[in-house]
Each structure stands twice: as C-alpha cells, then as structure tokens.
Amino acid sequence: MPEITYAEALRAALREEMIRDERVFLFGEDIGRYGGAFGVTFGLLDEFGEQRVKETPISEAAIVGAATGAALVGMRPVAEIMFMDFILLTMEQLVNQAAKVRFMFGGKATVPMVIRMAGGSGTGAAAQHSQSLESLLIHIPGIKVVNPSTPYDAKGLLTSSIRDPNPVCFVEHKQLYKTKGEVPEGEYTIPIGVADVKREGSDITVVAGNIMVPRTMAAAQKLAQEGIEAEVVDPRTLRPLDVETITNSVRKTGRLLVVHEACQTGGWAGEVIASVASSHAFDYLDAPMRRLAGADVPIPYNRNLELAAVPQEQDIEREIRRIVSNQY
C-alpha cells in the first residue's frame, strides 16, 4: 500500500465520495483556491467546481445552519470548521436543530452531514485556537463523534461518516496532518463505533485517542525494553464508544490508563472509566484505574508552557510505569 499523509487520506476520501455521490458537496471558509487552512481540500475546486466546493462567509453558525438545511432536503454536505474552537459558535444549529431533527420527526427526516474540524494544541496557536472539545460534543445525543489517529483510519472513517444518515463531528488533530501511514488505493470504509487495538500487550491497557495514540505507541515501545507490555486501544470514535473492546482488553491486562489531550475535568476519560467500572472487567482489575489528561487551564501561547499543559510521551511512559509497579 502507498504511504500518504493524514491530510492526503482525508482529501482522497472526499474526492472519492464526491465522484461516487453527486449529493456530496463541501462547504466552508477558504476551502476553494486556498485549499483549506490545513490544505485538505486543495485541488478539489478545480476538479468539481464552485457548485460543489463552496466558499462561505466567516460565520460558523451560518455554515452549520446551511449544512443542516441542505442535509434535510437530501444533500450530503461536508462542512469545514477551520478551528475546532469555533464549533462553539454553532451550538444552536448543531445541538438544538441537527442533533434532534430525526428524533423529533420520528425518523422521517434525517441530517446526513459531516462537520470536519481541526482541534488540539502543539502549533503555538494559543488559547482560542488550540482546544480539544470532543467531550463537549459527546454529551449531545444525536451526534456521532469520530476521532481518528492514523491516515488509514482517517480515510475509512471519513468515508463512513459521509455515508451515515446522522450528523457526524469529525475531529482532526492539527499535528496529525503531516503524519504518514499506509492507505489502500480506492474506497474502503471503517465502521463507526468500532475501536482498534493498535498494539497487543499483557500488563496494562492504555486507551488513547487522536494525537495521544502515536505518543502512547512510542512510550509503549520504550517500556517494552523493560519488559512492560502495554496494550494500546484506540477508540477511533467517541460516540458511539466501543465499550466491549475496551473492557475485554482490561479483563486481559488487569490495569487501565486513559489518555487524552482535553482538560481532565469532564473529559471523556471519565466516561471510559465509568464504563469499565460498571462492566464485567471491574472484577479483573489489579490496580486502580487512572487517567492522564490535559491541565485544567487554557492552552498557553508560550511553547514550554503549551507542552506542559498536555500529556507528552514521557508523561505517558511515567504513568504506565507507576501503575504497573503499583506506585500510584
């Protein structure tokens, strides 16, 4: 399989779905000639034209509102929110309209739209352009939240998201766009709601999402040299959450660490831990379940403080070692 970047994998999924289904169109700020803030849609305007790659005013509320309306009348819009932080401007359209329409109309109306958004820190973009708001979104019934960590997962899950009849918030971490991985040519799908065991292990289960997956994988490789074998589980989607894969892994290893970049308070790590606590896996635990998350602070602009505000590879390595050696 060819190696391509995360951004190229997303572009490939968009292009293939636009060829396959004429109802699919793109919608957002600077997505045409400029190719999007992170280059994902570059070249698609030339191929598909202005009717299917639509530039919008700088109004996230208008983008999501218009996408909701288009989806209701049979189109399949893929809207881009330049920075995840700005999803907060769309809460009325997303939460009170798109998420509830299918329920309120007894399934007679659906909202098949995807909202792509770039989240996370690490680029020096400071407090208003660096947030990880996945946990806010998973609280809303009617919305699916997808959180891929690899180019392979990004393409397969974006394809599935475009074909899904429900609103999907598709979260892309800024630091992943240039990462490379093997991706098959041609279309394929990955089911929404199915986790992936990225690394087999026997001593501890580490559930990590998005940018924390490569960091956890790197930490696990180092710890393997000390005889500590960590199993790395990537949920890939946070709503619906694949509790079965997670609990089966915890039952095998007897230990659990959940890692995410978002602030710890109210973060999705708590949901994972609560799910394990109420499952068959709880009786197999040999140590308290732990979470490693971002500090409860706005992301600083200062480079050193920005790095300190979210878990890094060495933090994950240290936390795994503590849990396995019963030093928590």
Give the pLDDT score at 328: 74
Residues of the chain with pLDDT under 70: none
- What residue numbers bound the domain in which 213 lies? 196-324
pLDDT on residue 280:
95
Q: What is the CB neighbour count within 10 angstroms for residue 184?
A: 12
Q: What is the pLDDT of residue 303?
A: 96
Looking at residue 92, the DSSP 8-state letter turns out to be I
Backbone angles phi, psi at 196, to 5 degrees: -135, 130
Helix (H, G, I), strand (E, B) or coil at 43: coil
Instruction: Reply yes or no on whether 280 is catalytic.
Output: no
Q: What is the CATH number of the domain that holds 106?
A: 3.40.50.970
Q: What's the number of domains the chain is made of?
A: 2
Residues 7 and 150 in one domain: yes
Give residue 118's pLDDT.
98
Domain check: are 21 and 147 in the same one?
yes
pLDDT of residue 276: 98
CATH number at residue 297: 3.40.50.920
Q: Specify whether 138 is located in the same domain as 177.
A: yes
CB burial of residue 172 (10 Å; 0-12, 13-18, 19+): buried
Output the CA angle 271-85-208, nearest 5 degrees.
Answer: 35
Comparing CA positions, the residue from 291, 264, 293, 295 lying closest to residue 277 is 291
| C-alpha to C-alpha distance for 265 and 270, rounded to whole angstroms | 8
Residue 268: its pLDDT value, please?
A: 98
pTM above 0.85, yes or no: yes
Q: Give the pLDDT score at 33.
A: 93
